[in-house]
C-alpha cells in the first residue's frame, strides 16, 4: 500500500533501499491502525432488506430467522475472477467460525450466474457453504455496484459494514475485526 509511494519518494531523495525498508517498517503499523480505525468507524446503520431465498440444497434462508446473529453476506458471480479467488479464504473463515453459533456466513450468486455454472464451481472447489440464488433481485435491494461485495449485518439485522472487492492481504483479519466490532469488542 505504501510501497509505490515510498519507492518514488526514495528515488527522488536518493535514499538507500535499506533506509526505505526501515522507514516503511516503522510507519506501516501506524498506517494500518489508522485505516482500520477509519474503516470500523464508518458504520452504515441501515436496515438490511429482508429476503427469503433457497440455497443450492433447496433450504430456504430468511433474514428474519437469523435475528440475534451476526450475518456475513457475500454477493458474487460465476464470471467474477476476484470472487472465485476469494473462496479459499472464505472457506478458511468458515472453518475458523464453525463452532461459533453467533455468526452465519452466506453467499448469494447473482441472477446472471446460471445454476449449472454455480454448481460446477462449488463442486470443483469442494465448497460446502450455503449458496443462495438471487432470482428475486436481491442485489438491487442491497444496491450492489460490483462483485464481490460483502455485507456485515448486526444482530438486529442492520447493515453495519460493506466491503467491495477482494484483497488477499489481511483478508481474514479484516473480516474478524468487523465481526469483533459487531460483538462490541
DSSP state of 148: S
Q: Residue 153's pLDDT is what?
A: 98
Q: For residues 161 and 44, is the Cβ–Cβ distance under 8 A?
A: yes
| pLDDT at residue 144, as a whole number | 92
Nearest CA among 141, 182, 175 for reference residue 53: 141
CB atoms within 10 A of CB 139: 19
The reported pLDDT for the residue numbered 127 is 86
State the Rg of the chain over Cα.
19
The whole-chain average pLDDT of the chain stands at 86
Report the relative pairing of strands 131-133 and 103-109 from DSSP bridges: parallel
**Sites in the chain below the pLDDT cut of 70:** 1-13, 15, 20, 23-24, 27-41, 185
Distance CA(111)–CA(77), nearest Å, equals: 8
Would you call 91 exposed, middle or buried from its count of C-beta atoms within 10 A (0-12, 13-18, 19+)?
Answer: middle
Looking at the chain, list the stretches that DSSP marks H as alpha helix, in order from N- to C-terminal side: 3-13, 17-41, 81-96, 115-125, 138-141, 171-182
pLDDT of residue 73: 97
Predicted local confidence at residue 84, as pLDDT: 93
Residues, the chain, total? 185
- The pTM of the full predicted model, rounded to 2 decimals, is 0.78
Confidence at residue 7, expressed as pLDDT on a 0 to 100 scale: 63
pLDDT at 38: 57
Would you say the C-alpha torsion 3, 6, 12, 17 has a positive or negative sign?
Answer: negative
Nearest one of 107, 113, 153, 164 to 135, comparing CA atoms: 113
Domains of the chain: 3-41 (no CATH), 46-182 (3.40.30.10)
Amino acid at each position: 500500500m505504501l510501497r509505490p509511494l515510498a519507492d518514488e519518494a526514495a528515488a527522488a531523495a536518493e535514499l538507500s533501499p535499506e533506509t526505505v525498508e526501515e522507514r516503511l517498517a516503522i510507519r506501516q503499523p501506524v498506517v494500518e491502525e489508522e485505516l482500520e480505525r477509519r474503516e470500523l468507524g464508518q458504520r452504515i446503520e441501515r436496515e438490511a432488506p429482508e429476503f427469503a431465498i433457497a440455497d443450492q440444497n433447496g433450504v430456504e434462508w430468511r433474514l428474519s430467522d437469523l435475528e440475534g446473529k451476526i450475518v456475513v453476506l457475500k454477493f458474487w458471480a460465476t464470471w467474477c475472477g476476484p470472487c472465485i479467488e476469494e473462496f479459499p479464504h472464505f472457506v478458511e473463515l468458515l472453518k475458523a467460525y464453525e463452532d461459533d453459533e453467533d455468526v452465519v456466513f452466506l453467499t448469494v450468486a447473482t441472477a446472471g450466474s446460471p445454476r449449472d455454472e454455480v454448481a460446477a464451481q462449488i463442486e470443483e472447489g469442494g465448497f460446502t457453504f450455503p449458496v443462495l440464488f438471487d432470482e428475486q433481485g436481491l442485489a438491487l435491494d442491497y444496491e450492489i455496484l460490483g462483485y464481490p461485495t460483502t455485507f456485515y449485518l448486526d444482530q438486529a439485522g442492520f447493515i453495519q459494514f460493506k466491503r467491495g472487492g477482494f484483497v488477499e492481504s489481511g483478508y481474514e483479519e479484516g473480516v474478524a475485526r468487523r465481526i469483533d466490532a459487531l460483538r462490541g469488542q
